[in-house]
Structure 1
């Protein structure tokens, strides 16, 4: 029997033991901190929007008065007792409605809003999906600073402009929790090309979360190398690494794993120095210009580069450098725009909580000077 550490969703402590061996897209209801599978039709009935009859609704909210607990006779202790007795969320909501002194005076819209709010609190339905790049982008919408406010439409545009395909040699410098790295690994799908994940020293795990979530097969990650960007172009880096402290006579498992990681970095560094890149992607919280100057000579002819930044000023500096350097065409700065709409009966409007801006992209192609 599998045993997993609990996670927190919407302030709820949830155990995931019951998700093992379940189908992708299955519905679950939270009961006593565990997710219990329910029928799809039953789940859709529970989460669908309530239809409130306009005959039992007020014309406006002018007669409503906020008297605190006086408007609701069903007390918190009584609700907790109902929950401990195993009463369903639907019955609790029905009692809340029947014992509310102001529900029938609310407008139809206010009644629907009230019911949906109570449903979210007392009927907690979750759906389990296999991780995907789109779902990861959606998951980070609640904490966009972790992925530098990168939206999924900008990510798609970035992958298109970089011209990445099966067998491409790609270098990535990112500070987006591994979202771009995972996207490139998925697009390359193994192949004979190499993917170089260049990270600053001390941030070796900054790109691992999204890759861990995707759980790629071994053949997808066999040609992925994580190397310190400071060692790129340093001819003495390999020699200094080989002169590290001697190995213990009987190394333990932790030491062997560290040696294996170090050897992997050395192999990746040697391979990077003799590999011509087909694509370069930069989406870092550090100075994009210095990174571009450090890596642009590793790009082969007809290769593509894409630089993402939240500030257009940073990209203008890179643009000026590229124009002075020469040997590139189709250098342009662009941005994308995505707006989601909420479609309900007799009302349509954009989602209130959405990202208004997702940075800018500088892209181009390397040609003969």
Structure 2
């Protein structure tokens, strides 16, 4: 089944580079945005030859991003629509339960998106994609079908087929042949029957690239409380509203285990500065970033501080950072020397991060924390640049409603807006397009605003427009003078206008200037 998403949010931040424009179907559930590989680009993954681990001692070539590489984290979608995370190691084995197992090295060099079949010897074979055909209307119906006794094959018969080495596709064909009422089913019912059997007997899987959208969707469906019910479309809205881009300077306060940080890292591309503020005197918990295949250069902009370090009066504890040459010669334990050097490097990194923080001029702030947002903004306010967007996420509307009312009366923020993202998935098949029966869970709420600087010396000026009326005697001078009054009111300063009006009052018959 293929689905499309109807949403008021923007598309995922990192769509696949190649997409299939025609409606297609495979024996398993396809990944969203499955890539279609050409035969010339992926000759090693031909549908006619299974994939085995290579024995060549030559150095491994540098593979493109959308091809599985050694050491990558990969999402595998099974026929039952369950998604499993695996890591591609040189000597590891990936077990998929009843669907079989294979060596992890067999995945190296394969593209994301196509469906692969696990053969009896553990090799992988790409399954050719199939074009979805139009279902012809028939006069068949399910009124004469009896649910009991229609299938003559027993559980023991199916196990016997498996012991004989029959593939999952052959077992499904046997079941169709022995089904007494299969021909009486409607075409739609036959298609559903085949999908249920394929999910049960076919030994196939689909590798999915660990993009921000896919990782967020995986965590949202499996353990939404871990990321505070942050839905993929909501995260996409946050990135757009915060104007996350290469070269940006961002402040992030999050408690979603690195989901927001990962989205920022993917968009920034290793350029800019990203400072995370957490609660403890230890590195922040952003372990979700390990699920991605980010190069080290993409993680270089990240720095972290705890709330105590954001106070200018904070003083760190004394650390033995300088080690004299005499101490180095006297100390025999190299482990102690290495420990001191690591502490010195950590201290220098912390000092550089504090300098960046107190330099201010951050052009974006993202909050996804259970703390009261007004207190967090009050602490960060001096370091936020003018016109910087501020995005606050919370799964609870009441928390953001109170902040919204306070921001409306604050001179430091402009146009606060409280919104709720909406998302619906659709099944898209010939003659069967409709919303999915099971809707998605709640995606949280967003509060957005813009940082502005208040000038208490500025005076508000109301534009006053003069009414132009023609004199009774038809003299055109009055009309021209009226135009002059109107022009002066639009362009002049307040005091000069009043002085000019007193020196040369409008002639009789002119309208009152309001």
Q: TM-score, normalised by structure 1?
A: 0.82
Choose which of 391, 400, 408 in structure 2 pairs with 1:323. 408
Choose which of 36, 48, 54 in structure 1 pairs with 2:124. 36
Moved more, 98-107 or 149-158: 98-107
Moved more, 349-358 or 273-282: 349-358
Distance 1:321 1:78, change over 3 A: same
Deviations 1:240-273 (CA, angstroms, capped at 9, x unpaired): 37489x9995327995797455654454244323
Deviations 1:136-157 (CA, angstroms, capped at 9, x unpaired): 2332342233322222322222
Instruction: Tell whether 2:259 aligns with 1:179.
Output: yes
Choose which of 63, 78, 86 in structure 1 pairs with 2:157. 78
**Secondary structure class of the residue paired with 1:361:** strand
For 1:202 and 1:78, how far apart are their aligned partners in 2?
62
For 1:14 and 1:176, how far apart are their aligned partners in 2?
33
Q: Is the 8 A contact 2:270 2:299 kept in 1?
A: yes
Choose which of 230, 233, 257 in structure 2 pairs with 1:153. 233
For 1:321 and 1:194, how far apart are their aligned partners in 2?
29
Q: Which residue of 2 aligns with 1:250?
A: 334
Choose which of 245, 258, 281 in structure 1 pairs with 2:366. 281
Q: Which residue of 2 aligns with 1:240?
A: 317
After TM superposition, give the deviation of residue 13 of structure 1 in Å: 6.3
> Equivalences for 1:121-160 in 2 at 5 Å?
121-143=200-222, 144-160=224-240
Q: Which residue of 2 aligns with 1:108?
A: 187
After TM superposition, give the deviation of residue 119 of structure 1 in Å: 0.8
Q: Identify, as 1 or 2, the structure richer in helix.
A: 1
Distance 1:184 1:117, change over 3 A: same
> Equivalences for 1:1-369 in 2 at 5 Å?
2-4=90-92, 6=94, 16-31=104-119, 34=122, 36-38=124-126, 42-45=127-130, 58-61=140-143, 63-66=145-148, 70-143=149-222, 144-191=224-271, 193-201=272-280, 204=283, 206-209=285-288, 211-233=289-311, 235-236=313-314, 238-240=315-317, 242=319, 249-251=333-335, 259=343, 264-369=349-454
**Secondary structure class of the residue paired with 1:271:** helix
Distance 1:296 1:184, change over 3 A: same
Q: Is the 8 A contact 1:327 1:368 kept in 2?
A: yes
Q: TM-score, normalised by structure 2?
A: 0.60
After TM superposition, give the deviation of residue 3 of structure 1 in Å: 1.9
For 1:258 and 1:7, how far apart are their aligned partners in 2?
39
Distance 1:35 1:353, change over 3 A: farther
Deviations 1:148-185 (CA, angstroms, capped at 9, x unpaired): 22223222221121122222110112233322211211
Q: Is the 8 A contact 1:27 1:125 kept in 2?
A: yes
Q: Is the 8 A contact 1:227 1:265 kept in 2?
A: yes
For 1:7 and 1:278, how far apart are their aligned partners in 2?
46
Name the Cα RMSD after superposition.
3.5
**Secondary structure class of the residue paired with 1:128:** strand
For 2:92 and 2:236, how far apart are their aligned partners in 1?
33
For 2:342 and 2:193, how far apart are their aligned partners in 1?
56
For 1:96 and 1:204, how far apart are their aligned partners in 2?
56
After TM superposition, give the deviation of residue 82 of structure 1 in Å: 2.6
Q: Is the 8 A contact 1:50 1:116 kept in 2?
A: no
After TM superposition, give the deviation of residue 295 of structure 1 in Å: 2.2
Moved more, 6-15 or 212-221: 6-15
Q: Is the 8 A contact 2:426 2:435 kept in 1?
A: yes
What 5-or-longer segments of structure 1 have no aligned partner? none
